[in-house]
C-alpha cells in the first residue's frame, strides 16, 4: 500500500485564505527538505500555479466528477510513493458543490483542516468550527486554524469558544504581506507577483508558529494502477503548444496524456512573437489572458503568419477559451477598445465585467463523453453553427458550443483529456466531429 502523511485544507467559504495557508504549509515543509506534493480540488488553473511555486512540484487537479474517483486515486497513490507530505486544497466551502470537497476528503479518508477567516469574529468562530466538524459525522476532521486574527488576545478568545474535542491548531495574523493578489479570474499568475517568494516565505514563517508545523498522520491511498498502455493514437505526431502569460491554462495531466498517446510536444510563445515550431502536425492554443495582451498579440506578425500557414495547410488547430478568442476576427475590451485578432475563426469576442459562464461540462460525441469545465468573462458572436454542444452533467443544462472551421476546433470548454483519451486524440487528428 502507498501511504503518506496527508492533509485536506478547506474552509467555510471562498475567500477564507485556503490558498495562502496551503502554500505556506507547502513552503514550510519544503524548507525542511521534505518532498511535498500539492493537489487542487476542482478545475482551477490559477491556484495550482502558485501552489507549484510553493512546493516545487507540479500540481494536479482532483475532482470526483471531472477526473473521476479512479483517476484521483491513481494520482494520489503515485504521489504517495515518493512524497513526505500530500496537501489537498479544497474548493469553495467545505460542503459546497456536488461533489464537494468533503465528498473528496471522505472518499479517500484525508483529514480536514478548516481554515476560518476570523476577522471581526468572536464566539461565532466556535459555532462555525462546530458546524464544520459535525455536519457530516463521517468526515475525518483534523482541526481548525484561525486566519486573519487581529492580536494574540483575539486568538485566545477564539480558542476559548471551541468544544474540547475540536483541535485548535493555532492562528495566523491578519497581515497584508501574506495575501496573494487577485484579478478577474482569480489569483494573479506567479510571474505577475514580483514579491511572491517573499510572501510565501512569510506564510511559511507563520505556519512554523502553529500546530501545523508537525506532519499529520499517514493516509493509505492503495497502489497506483498497473501501467495501462494506451493505444498510441498520436504516435509520430508533433504538437505545438502555446505557453506564456497569455496562454497558460493548461492541465499538466493533459500534457501527460499527449505524451502517453505518443505525441512529441513543442512549446512556443505568441507573446514573444515566436512561430509555430517547424514540423508540427497540430497546434494547441489553451486558455489564459489574451485580453490582457491583446495589443501585443494583434501586432505579432511572425506568430500570426505561422498560424495562418498552418491552417492553410489544413493542419489541426485545437483552441480553448482564450485560444479561441485569439483566432477570431476581433476582441473588444471592457473599455470598448477593439483589437483585430488573427481572423482565422469567424466571430467577434467581447469582454464583460461579470462572468458569462461557470460550471462543469460534458461533451458527448462519437468517441464517447469527455468532461471538463467552463469559466469565462467574454461572449463570442459568430455565424458558425455548432458542430457539437456540451451540457452540464449535474443539471443537464445546455453548455458550451464546439465550433469547427476548416482544420480548427474551438470552444470555451476547457476539456480534461484523460477523461476520454480517444476523444482527445481525435481532436488533434481532426477527427473529433
Q: What is the pLDDT of residues 409-427, one digit of tens each?
A: 999 999 999 999 999 999 9
- Omega of the bond leading into 99 within 30 degrees of 0 (cis): yes
Across all residues in the chain, what is the average pLDDT?
93
Q: Does the pLDDT value for residue 301 go beyond 60? A: yes
Q: Does the pLDDT value for residue 216 go beyond 50? A: yes
Measured distance CA(409)–CA(316) in Å, rounded: 8
Catalytic positions:
321
Q: Give the pLDDT of residue 372.
A: 97
pLDDT, tens digit (0-9, with 9 covering 90-100), for 358-377: 899 999 999 999 999 999 89
The answer to whether 247 and 290 are in contact (CB under 8 A) is yes
**pLDDT classification of 357: cutoffs 50, 70, 90:** confident
pLDDT, tens digit (0-9, with 9 covering 90-100), for 263-277: 999 999 999 999 999
Measured distance CA(11)–CA(89) in Å, rounded: 10
Q: Does the pLDDT value for residue 235 go beyond 70? A: yes
CA dihedral sign of residues 339, 341, 346, 350: negative
pLDDT greater at residue 226 or residue 350: 350
User: Which of left, alpha, beta for 313 (phi over 0: left; psi -120 to 50: alpha)?
Assistant: alpha
Q: Give the pLDDT of residue 182.
A: 54
**pLDDT classification of 178: cutoffs 50, 70, 90:** low
Region 194-204: mean pLDDT is 86
Q: Give the pLDDT of residue 240.
A: 98
Q: Does the pLDDT value for residue 51 go beyond 60? A: yes
Q: Give the pLDDT of residue 183.
A: 44
Q: Give the pLDDT of residue 350.
A: 96
Q: Give the pLDDT of residue 87.
A: 98
Q: Does the pLDDT value for residue 177 go beyond 60? A: no
For the chain, how many helices (H) and strands (E)?
Answer: 12, 26
pLDDT, tens digit (0-9, with 9 covering 90-100), for 381-411: 999 999 999 999 988 999 999 999 999 999 9
Q: Give me the domains of the chain, ranges plus CATH numbers.
A: 3-220 (3.40.50.300), 238-429 (3.40.50.880)
Region 280-292: mean pLDDT is 96
* Helix H or strand E encompassing 427: helix 421-429
- For residue 394, which of 46, 102, 100 has the smallest C-alpha distance? 100
Q: Give the pLDDT of residue 194.
A: 67
Q: Does the pLDDT value for residue 69 go beyond 80? A: yes
The answer to whether 329 and 339 are in contact (CB under 8 A) is no
Total-model pTM = 0.94
Amino acid at each position: 500500500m502507498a501511504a503518506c502523511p496527508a492533509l485536506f485544507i478547506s474552509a467555510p467559504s471562498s475567500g477564507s485564505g485556503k490558498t495562502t495557508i496551503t502554500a505556506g504549509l507547502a513552503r514550510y515543509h519544503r524548507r525542511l527538505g521534505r518532498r511535498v506534493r500539492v493537489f487542487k480540488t476542482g478545475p482551477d488553473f490559477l491556484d495550482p500555479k502558485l501552489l507549484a511555486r510553493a512546493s516545487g512540484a507540479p500540481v494536479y487537479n482532483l475532482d470526483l466528477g471531472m477526473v473521476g474517483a479512479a483517476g484521483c486515486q491513481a494520482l494520489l497513490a503515485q504521489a504517495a510513493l515518493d512524497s513526505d507530505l500530500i496537501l489537498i486544497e479544497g474548493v469553495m466551502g467545505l460542503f459546497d458543490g456536488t461533489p464537494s470537497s468533503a465528498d473528496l476528503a471522505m472518499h479517500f479518508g484525508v483529514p480536514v483542516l478548516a481554515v476560518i477567516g476570523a476577522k471581526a469574529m468572536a464566539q461565532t468562530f466556535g459555532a462555525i468550527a462546530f458546524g464544520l466538524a459535525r455536519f457530516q459525522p463521517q468526515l475525518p476532521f483534523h482541526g481548525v486554524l484561525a486566519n486573519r486574527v487581529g492580536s494574540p488576545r483575539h486568538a485566545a478568545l477564539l480558542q476559548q469558544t471551541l468544544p474540547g474535542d475540536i483541535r485548535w491548531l493555532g492562528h495566523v495574523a491578519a497581515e497584508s504581506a501574506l495575501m496573494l493578489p487577485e484579478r478577474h479570474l482569480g489569483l494573479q499568475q506567479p510571474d505577475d507577483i514580483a514579491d511572491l517568494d517573499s510572501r510565501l516565505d512569510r506564510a511559511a514563517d507563520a505556519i512554523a508558529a502553529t500546530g501545523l508545523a508537525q506532519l499529520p498522520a499517514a493516509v493509505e491511498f492503495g497502489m497506483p494502477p498497473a501501467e495501462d498502455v494506451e493505444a498510441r493514437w498520436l504516435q509520430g505526431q508533433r504538437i505545438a503548444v502555446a505557453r506564456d502569460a497569455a496562454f497558460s491554462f493548461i492541465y499538466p495531466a493533459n500534457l501527460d496524456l499527449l505524451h502517453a498517446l505518443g505525441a512529441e510536444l513543442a512549446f512556443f510563445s505568441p507573446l514573444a512573437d515566436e512561430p509555430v515550431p517547424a514540423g508540427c502536425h497540430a497546434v494547441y492554443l489553451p486558455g489564459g489572458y489574451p485580453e490582457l495582451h491583446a495589443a501585443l498579440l494583434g501586432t505579432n506578425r511572425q506568430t500570426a503568419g505561422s498560424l495562418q500557414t498552418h491552417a492553410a495547410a489544413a493542419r489541426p488547430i485545437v483552441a480553448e477559451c482564450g485560444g479561441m478568442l485569439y483566432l477570431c476576427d476581433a476582441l473588444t475590451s471592457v473599455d470598448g477598445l477593439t483589437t483585430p485578432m488573427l481572423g482565422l475563426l469567424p466571430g467577434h469576442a467581447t469582454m464583460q465585467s461579470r462572468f458569462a459562464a461557470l460550471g462543469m461540462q460534458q461533451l458527448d460525441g462519437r468517441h464517447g463523453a469527455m468532461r471538463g469545465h467552463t469559466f469565462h468573462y467574454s461572449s463570442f458572436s459568430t455565424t458558425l453553427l455548432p458542430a457539437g454542444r456540451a451540457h452540464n452533467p449535474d443539471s443537464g443544462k445546455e453548455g458550451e458550443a464546439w465550433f469547427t472551421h476548416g482544420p480548427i476546433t474551438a470552444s470555451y470548454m476547457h476539456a480534461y483529456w484523460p477523461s476520454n483519451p480517444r476523444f482527445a486524440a481525435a481532436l488533434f487528428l481532426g477527427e473529433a466531429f
